[in-house]
Structure 1
Amino acid sequence: MRAALGICGVALLAGCGSFSGFQPATPEGYDGPTVNVADQSTLQGDSLAHVFEMTAVDGRRLLSTSIATLQAHQGRGFSAAPVALSNELPPRPAVVRLQAVTQYAAPLLAMRGHGCRVSGDLAFTPEAGKAYRVAGRIAPDACEAWIEDRATRQPVTGKVSGPGTGP
């Protein structure tokens, strides 16, 4: 069942690659200060990446790291090519959608692997002068994502959490 979900997730992401409805994280017309929030994409062997990303801000859908990573995988066979994007946000309260997902280099690999995909909305108030990153954990017991201060590595949001990858 998990493998089928992983394949569906890959197919959905592939379809999103050509969607033109993405928006910037900074609202239209905003020209004030911003803070950086970086996604993470870490290689787990040759053909699997763990992605921790921000996919929306205040309802605006962002071009995501998982889509960029999927596009980078195309034509590489069973070799993963992780990509990590970042976004600039105004230093004010926002609702962000975070996601933790496993990405295989090819759909065939997802059929035999254990996948994770969890997403959810969290309140986040970035502070001027700081930098942040989307962090997370993908493990047999849980899949989680949160935002942390890049300098201190301390969480600054709650967590989105879901089932793990293992039996």
Structure 2
Amino acid sequence: MRALALAAALTLAGCASFEAATPPDYVGATVNVADQAQQVSGRLLHVFEMTQVDGRRLSTTSRATVSANQGRGFAVSPVALTNELPLRPARVTLQAMTQYAAPILAMTSPTCQVRGEVTFRPESGKAYRVAGRITPEACEVWLEDLDTGQPVTDKVSGRGTRS
């Protein structure tokens, strides 16, 4: 049931409009934040993505991956997006999720999805990525410094893939 709700949400999300991570009136320095999509198998990805910045809804890696893989049956290849954020503190919504090549696979396989908001204080000259882990015990997501691999936000945690 959880997987069916996730598939429906992703389908409906395609109807919404998205905004840039940097407001159109912003003038100044930005930092890059890259989503991550880890290929677990030919049918399964672990996706770690930023879905909102200060309430602005972003285009996401999970949606881009669904669009790029339509018609491929039970095969999936990741499409990871990046965002440029203003160099100022922000509230960002992060998400970790399992993403299968087809909804039927999600209905019969272990899944997880966790989403939450964290405060992010970017630093000039740095690059960041959305990181996380998906295991039977936990589903977690956070932002980390790309060079050092050190977390720069709190972790958003939820139930793992063990039902």
TM range (shorter): over 0.9
Count matched residues: 163
* One of 7, 11, 20 as aligned partner of 1:10: 7
Q: Is the 8 A contact 1:17 1:71 kept in 2?
A: no
In structure 2, distance between residues paired with 1:74 and 1:99: 22
1:24 aligns with 2:38: no
Aligned to 1:97: 93
Q: Is the 8 A contact 1:101 1:118 kept in 2?
A: yes
The alignment partner of 2:11 has SS state of helix
Write the letter of the residue equivalent to 1:118.
V
Q: Is the 8 A contact 1:40 1:134 kept in 2?
A: yes
Q: How far did residue 123 of structure 1 move? A: 0.3
* One of 66, 73, 77 as aligned partner of 1:70: 66
Aligned to 1:57: 53
Runs of 4+ residues deviating >6 angstroms: none
Aligned to 1:165: 161
Write the letter of the residue equivalent to 2:11.
A
User: TM-score scaled to structure 2, two decimals?
Assistant: 0.97
Write the letter of the residue equivalent to 2:142.
W
In structure 2, distance between residues paired with 1:44 and 1:11: 23
Give aligned-pair identity as a percent: 60
User: TM-score scaled to structure 1, two decimals?
Assistant: 0.95
Provide Cα deviations, 1:28-78, integer angstroms capped at 9, x if missing partner: 211211000000001111101100000000000000111111112210000
> Unaligned regions of 5+ residues in structure 1, if any?
none
In structure 1, distance between residues paired with 2:78 and 2:12: 19
Structure 1 vs Structure 2 CA RMSD: 0.9
Provide Cα deviations, 1:84-121, integer angstroms capped at 9, x if missing partner: 00000111100000000100100111111011110000
